[in-house]
Amino acid sequence: MNIVDDLPPVLTALDRPNSYIGRSVPRPHLARLTQGRGQYVSDVTLPRMGHAAFVRSPHAHARIRRIGTEAAKKAPGVIAIVPGAELAEVMTPWVGVLTHLKGIKSAPQYAIAVERACWQGEAVCAVVAKTRAQAEDAAELVEVEYEELPAVTDAETALDAATPVIHLELGDNLTFERKHEAGEPDKGFATADTVVETTFVFGRHTGVTNEPRAIVADWNPGEQRLTVYHGTQAPHMMQNLFAKHLGLDEQQVRVVTKDVGGSFGIKVHTYADEMATVALTKLLRRPVKFVADRLESFVTDIHARDHRVKARLGVKNDGTITAWEIDDLTGIGPYSVYPRTSGIEANQIVNLTGGPYACPNYRAHARVVFQNKNVMCQYRAVGHPIATAVTEGLVELAAVKIGMDPVDIRRKNLIPDNAYPATGPSGIKFELLSHHAALDKIVAMMDYARLRAEQERLRRERVYLGIGFASFIEVTNPSAAFYGVGGARISSQDGATVRLDAQGAVICHTGVTEQGQGAEAVMAQVVASAFGVPIERVRIVTGDTDNTPYGGGTWASRAAGIGGEAGWQAAKALRSQVLAVAGSILQAKPESLDIRGGVVVDGATGTERIGLDEVARVAYFRPDTLPPGFQAELMATRHYVPRAWPFAFTNGIQASWLEVDPDSGFITLLKHWCVEDCGTVINPQLVDEQIRGGVVQGIGAALFEHCRYDERGQLLNGNMADYLVPMAAEMPDIEVGHVVSPTADSELGAKGAGEAGTAGAPGSVMNAVNDALRPLGARPITEMPMTPEVVLHALGRV
Amino acid sequence: MKPAVFAYAKARSLDHAIELLGQHDGQARVLAGGQSLIATLNMRLDSPDLVVDINGIPGLDGIARRNGQVEIGALVRHAAAERSDLIKRQLPLIAQAMPHIGHPAIRNRGTIGGSVALADPAAELPACLLALGGEVEIAGARGRRMVRADDFFKGLFDTALGPGDVLTAIRLPAATSETRTGFAEFCRRHGDYAIVGLAASARAEGRSLHDVRLAFFGVGATPVRARQAEAGLANGTVDAAVAGLAEDLDPPDDVQASGVVKKQLAAVLLRRVAAQLMEQRS
Amino acid sequence: MSARRIDIAVTVNGEAVHETVEARTTLVDFLREDLGLTGSHVGCEHGVCGACTVRVDGVVVRGCLTLAAQCDGARVETIEGVSDSGEIADLQDAFHKRNALQCGYCTPGMLLTAQELLKNGGTPSRAAIRQHLSGNYCRCTGYHAIVDAVEAVARARGKA
C-alpha cells in the first residue's frame, strides 16, 4: 500500500508558496516515540514522591460504616492512609450539572466517598506509600465495614416507584430528560405507506486507552504552587478545577500534559481518584503519583454508550421518508460526571438522529437515569455512533421493506448538496455538507455493482456476504454553544503565540493539545505555511498552562479547525512583524516583501533580500541600528473562536463488506470504506489515520466491546482477557476518500476529522450483517455488540 | 496490580525443587514459563509464600522419540515445539494446535509442561493430550510416576499433580501412517483462549475410523471426551456423531458464551474436524 | 535458599547491571523504575496488551509476565538499546513515514514484535503480519498503517 498521496491545495486564500496545507508531511519530532524516548505521565518521577493506591468498594451500593486504618498505617513504606472524610477537609465536592441542559440534576461527588459507595470500584480510602506495591499491600490491611444497600442496575425500571432512589434529596433517579418535536411527525406517520419500528440496544463500553490514566501532583508549600503532570486533553480546564476545589487561585496551578498514551475522550473528564491525588499532595506536602492499573481502569474510566432506543420511521413506497421518532433511555452511573455532565450523550442523540436527511418531521424523547454502576460520560464521537446506527438502521430496514436499493433510498432522502445552508430536524444548523458527493464517491471506490454481483453469486453457494452503509454527520469545532453557555469554564476559543527565536526559527505555543492525533504536526504545517519557513524550522509548545495561551485543549475534533486557525492568524501576524523589521533594515516597504523558504524576499520577483537569522540578530542584538522610534516586535498572539456556526458539521459515509457464517454466528470483516468531508484537509495522511483508528474503535463497539454487569452491579469482565478490544488479525483494511467543503467561518476552512470514523462504523457494520443474513430469514439484528450468540439467536439456531 | 510479597528460589535440580515445594505446605508455586502464574500473582488472585523457579533444571527441555512415543520435556517452550520438525512429522495434532496458543511473546516463554499442569479448561494442549491418549510424567517426594491422560484432569485447574509435585514430561504416541488428527477452535480473536475447541485423533483402516478420541475444550471444568460422538463417528456417520454430541456435552455459561451457544459451536467443530479426520493422508 | 530480595546480574542493552530486586518485581517494572528505561510501557499487567514487550536472550517476551529475579544471567534488550544499535532503523523510519503510530504507547512493543517476524526473512502476507502482531494492542491506528509499514520494510529488506 502506498503512502497517502498529497491532495492538491484547494483554496486560493491559503495560497502560500511552499504551502504545507494539503500535504501528507510526516509528523515532526515523532522519532522520540519510535525510540522509546517519549515522556508519558506514567514515566514521571519526582523526589520524595509517594504512590497512591485506593481501597475500592466491592459493592455497587453500600453505606460505609467504619474504616479501620491502624493495621494499614503500620505496613512497610506507608506514608498516609486517608479516608474520604479527612480528604473532604482539603477538597470540596462537585456537581456535574450545566444550565443549558434544562432540569439536569446530580448529587455532590467527593474525591473519596464519604458516607456511601455508589458503584463497585468507587474509592473509599486512599493509601500513599513509597512504592505502588507497598501501597497495595497496605490497602489490603484497611478494614472497611460496609452495610450493603439495594443496587439500582436496570435502567428500564430505574424510575419505577418500587425502585430505591439513589440520592434521596434528588427525589428520583432521573438525571435529565429532554423532549423535542419538529415539523408534523404524526402527520408524517399517518401519510407513510410503511412504518418501520424497532428497538436498538447498545452495549455499554469504554475507551481502554493503552496508557492508563496517570497523574503526578506536586504541591510545593514553599512556593504555594501546585504542579500537576496530568495526561489530560484539557489542561486549562483542569487548572481551573484543581484551583477551585482546593481553594487556590488559578495562577497557583500549573498543569503539564507530557506525552499521552491515548485518550479518545477518556482523559477529558474529572475523576475522583485523580482529584484525590491532587488533594493528597496538598495534605502531605510532597509529590503523589497515581497510575490506574488496568483492573482499576475498567471500573473507573468513564463508560459510555449504554442506550436503549425505541425508534420508528415512516416511509412512502417511492422511498420518501415521512417521519422519525425515537425514545432513548440511558443508564449512567450514580453521578453526572463533572464538568461536562452525563446528559450530553443523550442530548446529542436527540440532536443528531435523522440529521443527514431532508425529512423535517421528528419527535424525540430522551431520559438519562442514575444507576449503581460505573460513571458514564463523553467518549469519542459522543452520541454519534448511536444516532447514526439508529438512523441508518431504520433507513436500510425501510429500504428492505419497500424493496428499494439502500443507495437509492439515500439518494432520495439525503439533503441535496446544493440546499445549504440547511437545518436538521432537531434544529441543528448546517453550513455546507456533501452527502451526495460522498455517496457517489464511496459507490465508485467500493465498485458497488461488482460487490452486489459477487454477493449474489456466493449466496447461491451458501456463502453469505453483506454490504452495509452509514451516512453520517459529525459535530466539530464547537463554539460556546456546547459547554460555555451552560456555565462551564471550558474554553471554546483557542490561542496561539508565535515568536521568532534568536536564530530565526519559529516557536508556536498553542492551547490545543496532543494525544497522538497529530495536533502538533497540523499546527506546525499551518504556522510554517502562513509564516513562510520550512517545517523543520518550526517547533510547537503545547500541553502546559504556564507556557501556552489560554485555550480549550483537544476534544470534539477542534484542534485543526480552531487551534489551527489561531495558529494561521498568529503566524500571519508574525510575518507582518518580521517584514516590518526587515523593511526597516532594508529601507523597503514591508508590503513589497514576503517570507518564503525561510528567507525574506522581494514579493514580486522572489529575490532573496535578508535572512531571518539576520533579522533576528539585528532586532535582538543590534536594535541601535534601527531607525529611531521603531521598536521591533517578533512575537504575535492571536485567538480564534467560531462565531457564525455553533458547530462546524462535517459529513461522510461508510461502507462495510463482510461475511457471516450462519452455522457459528462468526463475522469476518473483509473490507471497510469511508468517504469523509472535513473541509480543508491540512494533512491527508493524518486525516486518513484518524478515520482508520476511529473506524476500528467503532468496529469494537459493533462486534466486541461490552462492559457486562450482573443484576447486583458487579462488572463481570473487567480485564483484557474478557473485555475484547479489536486486535490486528480481525480488522479489515480501511480505504478512505475525501470530499472537500470548507467552512467560511475561518480562513483555513478546516473542520474536524477525529471522530467521524467512530461515528459511522457501528451502523455500517450492523447494516452489513443484516444484509448478509436477510436471505436466511433472520430477524434483523439491532443490538450491539453483535456477538456470535446474538447472530445465532437472530437466525433461530439457538 | 503488583503481586503480594513472596520469596523466590531457583531450583538447581528436580530433587531440589521437590524439596523446596515440600517445605512450604502447599504455599509454594512452580514457576516455569510464568505466562499464567505471574498474571495470577499480579492480580493477587493467588499469594503464595514461595515461587520455585524450575527453569534452570537440566534435562527437562528435550524432544525425543522413544519406543513409538514422542517425549516432550516439561520445559520445552511453545515456540520450540512450534519449530520442531520431529513434532511436525510425528505429532501432527500438536503441530496443528501450536499456532493457536497465545501470541509469539507468550510462546517464547510458555512451556508445554506448564500448560498441561495448569489445565485451563479452554487451553489447547490439555485437550491434545487427551485426544492422543498420552501420559504425564510426574516427579514428587515419593519418586516418579506416569498418569494417563484420561486420569490426569480432575476438575477446574485440578489435576493429578499435588502441591509437592513437578510435571517433568508428557509422552504422546507417535503418528503412524494410519493416524488421523483434526483440530479446530472458535475464538473471537486470534490467540485468545477458545470459546470451544476440539482436538481429535483416530486410526484409519480403509474408509473407517477406529480408536476415535474427541477431546473438546472450553466446555466444562476439564477437557471432555465426547464418547457418544466418538462412537457415532466410529460406527456410522457424522450426523450420528453430532446427535451423540448433544448427550455428551452440557457446557456451563461463561463470560464469552452461553452453554447453548457452546453446544451449537461444538457441533459445528465436530463436522469440520470429522472432515479433517476423513481426509486421506497424502 | 529462598529470599524476598534477590541479587541479579543482568546485561541490559549491552551494559552489565548488578542490582538487588524484590522477588515480586516484574522485569518491566525493574527496567522502568530501577533502571529508568521508560521506553517499555505497562498497559495491563496480565500479558494481553503487549506494551511491555522486551527481548530476553534474543526473543520477545512480556515484561509484565517475567520476574526480574528470573533474569539473573540473562541478556535483556529494550527499545532504547535496539534503537541505539540501529537494528530497526528502517522499521522506525517506515512507521514514521506511514504514521503507523499515533500516541506511541504500543510502538516499542509493536516494533520489537515486528522485528522478530522480519528477522525470519521473506515477505509475509498482510494476513500473516496481522496474525503475528495479534498480541500487540493498538487503540489509535486501527492497525492498517502498521501492516503497511511492516509489509514495506519486508519488501525492502528482501530487495537489499
Mean pLDDT of A108-117: 98
Place of cell 495434532: B93
Mean pLDDT of A237-263: 98
Domain termination site, one of B173, B204, B233: B173
Q: Which residues contact B235 (CB under 8 A, 6 or more apart)?
A: none
Whether residue A12 is predicted with pLDDT greater than 60 in this model: the reply is no
DSSP state of C61: E
CATH number for the domain harbouring residue B12: 3.30.43.10
Find the CB nearest C2 among B50, B79, B102.
B50
Mean pLDDT of A679-702: 97
Portion of chain B with pLDDT greater than 90, in percent: 95
Q: Using CA coordinates, name the residue in chain B closest to A709.
A: B255
| 3-state secondary structure (DSSP) of residue A280 | helix
Contacts of A788 in chain B (CB under 8 A): 186, 188, 195, 257, 261, 265
Contact (CB, 8 A) for C5 and C71? no
CATH number for the domain harbouring residue A764: 3.30.365.10
The pLDDT value recorded for residue C2 is 82
Domain termination site, one of C30, C54, C82: C82
C98 and A3 within 8 Å at the Cβ level: the answer is yes
The pLDDT value recorded for residue A365 is 98
Residues A632 and A666 in one domain: no
The pLDDT value recorded for residue C160 is 82
Contacts of A132 in chain B (CB under 8 A): 2
Find the CB nearest C44 among A260, A294, A726.
A294
Contacts of C46 in chain B (CB under 8 A): 1, 39, 42-43
Residues C63 and C93 in one domain: no
Q: How many domains does chain A have?
A: 3
**Cα distance between residue A224 and residue A219, in whole Å:** 7
Portion of chain A with pLDDT greater than 70, in percent: 98
Query: Binning pLDDT at 50, 70 and 90, where does residue C120 land?
Result: confident
The pLDDT value recorded for residue A35 is 98
Is residue A445 a part of any domain in this protein? yes
Mean pLDDT of A308-323: 98
Per-residue cell: A554: 483537544
- Residue type at B13? S
**Cα distance between residue A136 and residue A127, in whole Å:** 8
Domain termination site, one of C82, C116, C145: C82
The set of chains that have 3 or more CB pairs under 8 A with B is A, C
Portion of chain C with pLDDT greater than 90, in percent: 96
Whether residue A2 is predicted with pLDDT greater than 60 in this model: the reply is no
Count Cβ atoms below 10 Å from residue C120 Cβ, excluding itself: 9
* B38 at interface of C, judged by CB pairs closer than 8 A: yes
Q: Which of B1, B38, B260 to mutate to test the interface with A (most CBs of A within 10 A)?
A: B1
Residues A696 and A780 in one domain: yes
Residues A279 and A378 in one domain: no
**Cα distance between residue A245 and residue A255, in whole Å:** 15
Whether residue A9 is predicted with pLDDT greater than 50 in this model: the reply is no
Whether residue C1 is predicted with pLDDT greater than 80 in this model: the reply is no
Residues B17 and B113 in one domain: no
Domain termination site, one of B143, B173, B203: B173
C131 and A729 within 8 Å at the Cβ level: the answer is yes
The pLDDT value recorded for residue B43 is 98
Lowest-pLDDT range of A591-600, A733-742, B228-237: B228-237
- Residue type at A86? E
**Cα distance between residue B40 and residue A216, in whole Å:** 28
C141 and A293 within 8 Å at the Cβ level: the answer is no
Range of the domain at C22: 5-82
Mean pLDDT of A275-287: 98
pLDDT digits (tens, 9 = 90+) for A336-380: 999 999 999 999 999 999 999 999 999 999 999 999 999 999 999
Whether residue B282 is predicted with pLDDT greater than 80 in this model: the reply is no
Mean pLDDT of B110-135: 98
The set of chains that have 3 or more CB pairs under 8 A with A is B, C
Residues A318 and A444 in one domain: yes
Whether residue B69 is predicted with pLDDT greater than 90 in this model: the reply is yes
Counting beta carbons within 10 angstroms of the beta carbon of residue A244, is it exposed (0 to 12), middle (13 to 18) or buried (19 or more)?
middle
Write out the residues of chain A at the interface with chain B, using a CB-CB cutoff of 8 A: 131-133, 136-137, 140, 293-295, 663-666, 704, 708, 716-717, 719, 721-722, 724, 726-727, 729-730, 787-789, 792, 797-798
Termini Cα distance of chain B: 51
Radius of gyration of chain A (CA): 27
Whether residue A10 is predicted with pLDDT greater than 60 in this model: the reply is no
Lowest-pLDDT range of A15-24, A126-135, A232-241, B167-176: A15-24
Residues B93 and B124 in one domain: yes
pLDDT digits (tens, 9 = 90+) for A18-59: 899 999 999 998 999 999 999 999 999 999 999 999 999 999
Q: How many domains does chain B have?
A: 3
* B10 at interface of C, judged by CB pairs closer than 8 A: yes
* B268 at interface of A, judged by CB pairs closer than 8 A: yes
C62 and B55 within 8 Å at the Cβ level: the answer is no
Contact (CB, 8 A) for A185 and A362? yes
Whether residue A232 is predicted with pLDDT greater than 70 in this model: the reply is yes
Residues A332 and A457 in one domain: yes
Q: Are strands A194-202 and A783-784 parallel, antiparallel or unpaired?
A: parallel
**Cα distance between residue A348 and residue A343, in whole Å:** 9
Is residue B58 a part of any domain in this protein? no
Mean pLDDT of B97-117: 97
CATH number for the domain harbouring residue C90: 1.10.150.120
Q: Which of C98, C139, C151, C155 to mutate to test the interface with A (most CBs of A within 10 A)?
A: C139
Measured between CA atoms, how close is B140 to chain A, in angstroms? 33
The pLDDT value recorded for residue A6 is 56
Residues C45 and C95 in one domain: no
Is residue B100 a part of any domain in this protein? yes
Mean pLDDT of A121-150: 98
C130 and A731 within 8 Å at the Cβ level: the answer is yes
* A209 at interface of C, judged by CB pairs closer than 8 A: yes
Whether residue A207 is predicted with pLDDT greater than 60 in this model: the reply is yes
Q: Which long-range contacts (CB under 8 A, 24 or more apart) does B213-217 make?
A: B213/B130, B213/B131, B213/B132, B213/B133, B214/B131, B214/B270, B214/B273, B215/B127, B215/B128, B215/B130, B215/B131, B216/B127, B216/B248, B216/B249, B216/B266, B216/B269, B217/B121, B217/B122, B217/B123, B217/B124, B217/B126, B217/B127, B217/B185
CATH number for the domain harbouring residue A55: 3.90.1170.50
Q: Which long-range contacts (CB under 8 A, 24 or more apart) does A269-272 make?
A: A269/A302, A269/A337, A269/A338, A269/A340, A269/A377, A269/A378, A270/A94, A270/A238, A270/A241, A270/A337, A270/A338, A270/A339, A271/A213, A271/A300, A272/A109, A272/A110, A272/A111, A272/A112, A272/A113, A272/A122, A272/A123, A272/A300
Residues B46 and B68 in one domain: no
Residues A672 and A762 in one domain: yes
Residues A672 and A542 in one domain: no
* C5 at interface of A, judged by CB pairs closer than 8 A: no
Residues C46 and C21 in one domain: yes
Contact (CB, 8 A) for B44 and B142? no
**Predicted ipTM?**
0.98
C51 and A731 within 8 Å at the Cβ level: the answer is no
Contacts of A290 in chain B (CB under 8 A): none
Measured between CA atoms, how close is B191 to chain A, in angstroms? 9
Range of the domain at A630: 493-640
Q: How many domains does chain C have?
A: 2
Mean pLDDT of C51-58: 98
pLDDT digits (tens, 9 = 90+) for B204-259: 998 899 999 999 999 999 999 999 999 999 987 899 999 999 999 999 999 999 99
A727 and C135 within 8 Å at the Cβ level: the answer is yes
* B257 at interface of A, judged by CB pairs closer than 8 A: yes
Query: Binning pLDDT at 50, 70 and 90, where does residue A11 land?
Result: very low
Residues A655 and A571 in one domain: no
Range of the domain at B208: 179-279
Q: Are strands A494-500 and A506-510 parallel, antiparallel or unpaired?
A: antiparallel
- Residue type at A310? K
Domain termination site, one of C28, C53, C82: C82
Residues C105 and C64 in one domain: no
CATH number for the domain harbouring residue C51: 3.10.20.30
The pLDDT value recorded for residue C40 is 98
Q: Which residues contact A736 (CB under 8 A, 6 or more apart)?
A: A673, A674, A675, A676, A687, A688, A691, A692
Query: Binning pLDDT at 50, 70 and 90, where does residue B23 land?
Result: very high
C-alpha dihedral sign at A228, A233, A236, A240: negative
Residues A247 and A107 in one domain: yes
Is residue B40 a part of any domain in this protein? yes
Residues A282 and A325 in one domain: no
Q: Which residues contact B234 (CB under 8 A, 6 or more apart)?
A: B202, B208, B209, B210, B212
Count Cβ atoms below 10 Å from residue A150 Cβ, excluding itself: 13
Place of cell 456537581: A95
Residues A633 and A657 in one domain: no
Contact (CB, 8 A) for A387 and A353? yes
Residues B164 and B92 in one domain: yes
**Cα distance between residue A229 and residue A291, in whole Å:** 11
Measured between CA atoms, how close is A695 to chain C, in angstroms? 7
Domain termination site, one of B145, B173, B201: B173
Residues C69 and C101 in one domain: no
Residues C102 and C146 in one domain: yes
Q: What is the overall mean pLDDT for chain A?
A: 96
* A654 at interface of C, judged by CB pairs closer than 8 A: no
Radius of gyration of chain C (CA): 16
Mean pLDDT of A135-156: 98
Q: How far is CA B257 from the centre of its chain?
A: 21
* A668 at interface of C, judged by CB pairs closer than 8 A: no
Residues A506 and A441 in one domain: no
Residues C61 and C125 in one domain: no
The pLDDT value recorded for residue A16 is 85
Measured between CA atoms, how close is C93 to chain A, in angstroms? 8
Counting beta carbons within 10 angstroms of the beta carbon of residue C48, is it exposed (0 to 12), middle (13 to 18) or buried (19 or more)?
buried
pLDDT digits (tens, 9 = 90+) for B25-68: 899 999 999 999 999 999 999 999 999 999 999 999 999 999 99
* CA-based nearest residue to A250, from A551, A504, A494, A546: A546
